[in-house]
Chain A
Amino acid sequence: MKDAHHKGEGHQEGHGTVYKYGMVINLDKCTGCGACMVACMAENNIPFRKEDTNDRLTQNFWMRVYKISNGGSFPDNDICYLPRPCMHCEGHGHHNRTPCVTVCPAVATDYNHETGIVSQIYTRCFGCRYCMAACPYHVRVFNWWDPKWPEGMEEYLNPDVSPRMRGVVEKCSFCFHRLQRARNKAYSEDRREVHEDEYQTACTQACPAGAITFGDLTNPEHKVYELKKTPNAFRLLEVLGTNPKVYYTSSRAWVRKAADVYVGKEGSGVTHT
């Protein structure tokens, strides 16, 4: 193993090096095209039902794009598209725990301290849905139906990701299988470090506007390290103390206000579709 770990905020803990993978999403660039959602569904073998295409309450989206509006009338009306993957919360301070992880009665979800990724063990989950109740971002979805794809489409499923059975909870994994693949490649090349471009999520690569940036938030060599520090950066529901690893940036004040407080104090008048 030749490469030493970067000298950023990361540190050695136990036997492994600590990374904190995260995202910075530039909301000024997002056009709401939905390519990230499609890429996510294709990459992660997310089933869909023709009948439920528009039912956001039962449809499984790991990545969902919200359309929010400032509620103003023409010509002051403004809209913003907000892609929302799993926040991979770390928790901090008084809430030194991920909201969904500690509540799971069967340890079917876990916070990986080496990567900062919140995982979901589908074969362990028995579908109590307590984690869904714990997540304020509606990130977790339940398989209300047996997973089915249109005829012939099974041939195109990603062999690196197991399809989930009905009756279990699933969610965005930051395309963890891609990290595993990148790690394997690095090990085969006698490296410990996974380069920034070797591990990118499907949504990041699919975004035609380049609105999503992904990397190790603690590594100064990764773009996200600086981006998350920009003055316009914020996180969803910061006030709750969930400590998410997904950051957003926007030059528009109303967008920032609409996302970093809850239940309407500053975001009053904000609507979504």
Chain B
Amino acid sequence: MFDSALIPKGVKRCSFAKFFIWVLILHIPVLIGTVAAILCWGLALNQTYLNNNFPFGLWIAADLGIIALGGGAFFTGFLRYVINIKELKNIVNYAVVIGVICYAAAQGILAIDIGQPIRGWFIFWHANVHSMLTEVAFCIMAYFMVLCVEYLPLLLENRQIFKFSVPRSFAHHLHEAMPTIAAIGVFLSCFHQGSLGGVAGVLYGRPFAYREGFLVWPWTFFLFILSAMACGPCFTILITKITEFFAKKKLVKKSVVGILAKISGGLTTLYVLLKIIDTLGWFGLVKEAGAPVKSFYANQPYGWWVLVMEVIILGAIPALLLLNKKTRENEPILILACVLNCAGIVMNRWIMTVQALAIPVMPFDKFVSYHPNWVEWATTLLPLWVGAIVIMLSYRYLPIFPQERELNPY
């Protein structure tokens, strides 16, 4: 094969031509997304369907969703290096790759979303310490750097690079330092996951989003951390399964996936319980303020079904499926549970951003609906395609899955 010298020893990969064609095909949506991004930068945000009623739309909801899904990186790192669950070394590399993609994607989307991208650095230079968004920006930036440091040893382990003593020794030292790096990552992640929850929770002018809380942190701060911990591992499992599907082979042992699924099940159950308590508490809060709860669910498409869908169908059901050993060990059901869990978190982020803005606040406000246009969709999906290319490159040339050789001897 043309690139066989770069492929890790003892593993099989498809032909270079096949690989190249797939990468080329993925460049089509990448190109469409890039054109959409250039339209936004060149002609301003009037190219989208965002408006003065919906300053936040698909982009911000997707941003929050991506960061939650990428939470598998910090949480798996925490379980592997801080709690020291040794089996997870077989999936932690992949969790890191997924994390890098998710966090890079979130920053990329934000760069398109802001009205003056050239001034993006103002958030660091003129930082307002009271703003949740400032905390988010600092922690995401710092954690992205941590993720890059975690990804670096993987890159250095490429067969051709690993031949040289300096990168080999550097990679070794990075591995040694990984528990510390992972612990820093956990600290940073907890803050920005929480702050993303705080972004909506502190909006006391928006009764749908506003929550009371503990000290300066609204309850959504803690719910967002927990939900990211609960769904992140599910996303890691899901992407692993998709990779296995395309690679047509097992890459991670069932027992390893089982550990993540079990932990995710426990955390999702806890999250759903707390979410129900939070929702009931919020019912009381708005009722006390003089607003009937039903008025928040009076406008379609944001009716009661949204709450049922989020908490029961995309919350309680996957939680139970993941908790139960029998269903967890059944692969199709496991995949279904992971899909539901991830969809639930993305839906929650949409609700806390877009739905929160859609609910009229002034009594004479008119309900206005919002639908993203192709520019927003193309730019939001852009990281998905770029991420797929990064995964394909990483899988092909880096020893990401330590169990691959054992599971696929040839």
Residues of A whose CB lies within 8 Å of any CB of B are 56-58, 66, 68, 82, 95, 97, 99, 102-108, 124-130, 132-138, 140-146, 165-169, 236-237, 239-242, 258-259, 261-267, 270-272
B207, A265: Cβ atoms closer than 8 Å: no
Taking A134-B205, A263-B207 as contacts, is the C-beta distance between A82 and B364 under 8 angstroms? Answer: yes
Taking A128-B133, A271-B364 as contacts, is the C-beta distance between A103 and B122 under 8 angstroms? Answer: no
- Beyond the given pairs A136-B361, A263-B359, 20 more chain A to chain B contacts, judged by CB atoms under 8 angstroms and listed by A's residue number, are A66-B364, A99-B205, A124-B122, A125-B116, A126-B115, A126-B123, A127-B114, A127-B116, A130-B199, A137-B205, A138-B53, A167-B44, A236-B362, A237-B361, A239-B289, A262-B291, A263-B291, A270-B363, A272-B364, A272-B365
State which of A57, A106, A124, A262 has its C-beta within 8 Å of the C-beta of B53: A57
Distance in angstroms from A79 CB to nearest chain B CB is 11
A142, B206: Cβ atoms closer than 8 Å: no
A245, B115: Cα distance in complex, Å: 29
- Which residues on A sit within 8 Å (CB–CB) of B51? 57-58, 144
Taking A58-B46, A126-B115, A237-B362 as contacts, is the C-beta distance between A263 and B206 under 8 angstroms? Answer: no
From B84-92, B124-132, B314-322, B393-401, the one touching the partner chain is B124-132
A130, B110: Cα distance in complex, Å: 13
- Which residues on B sit within 8 Å (CB–CB) of A271? 364
- Which residues on B sit within 8 Å (CB–CB) of A263? 207, 286, 291-292, 295-296, 359-361, 363
Taking A144-B45, A263-B207 as contacts, is the C-beta distance between A106 and B126 under 8 angstroms? Answer: yes
- Which residues on A sit within 8 Å (CB–CB) of B46? 58, 144-145
- What residue of chain A has the Cβ atom nearest to residue B125's Cβ? A106
- What residue of chain A has the Cβ atom nearest to residue B133's Cβ? A105
- What residue of chain A has the Cβ atom nearest to residue B203's Cβ? A134
B363, A258: Cβ atoms closer than 8 Å: yes
- What residue of chain A has the Cβ atom nearest to residue B288's Cβ? A239
Does B55 sit within 8 A of A, measured CB to CB?
yes
Does B34 sit within 8 A of A, measured CB to CB?
no
A134, B300: Cα distance in complex, Å: 23
A130, B128: Cα distance in complex, Å: 13
Distance in angstroms from A90 CB to nearest chain B CB is 13
**SS class, residues of chain A in contact with chain B:** loop
Distance in angstroms from A51 CB to nearest chain B CB is 11
**SS class, residues of chain B in contact with chain A:** loop
Does B137 sit within 8 A of A, measured CB to CB?
yes
A264, B114: Cα distance in complex, Å: 33
Task: List CB contacts (< 8 Å) of B130-158 with chain A.
Answer: 130-134, 137
A56, B365: Cα distance in complex, Å: 12
8 closest Cβ pairs, A-B complex: A127-B115, A167-B115, A267-B363, A129-B55, A136-B205, A57-B51, A126-B119, A132-B55
- Which residues on B sit within 8 Å (CB–CB) of A135? 205
Does B330 sit within 8 A of A, measured CB to CB?
no
A261, B115: Cβ atoms closer than 8 Å: no
A73, B59: Cα distance in complex, Å: 43
State which of B115, B205, B362 has its C-beta within 8 Å of the C-beta of A129: B115
A261, B133: Cβ atoms closer than 8 Å: no
A126, B126: Cα distance in complex, Å: 11
Does B326 sit within 8 A of A, measured CB to CB?
no
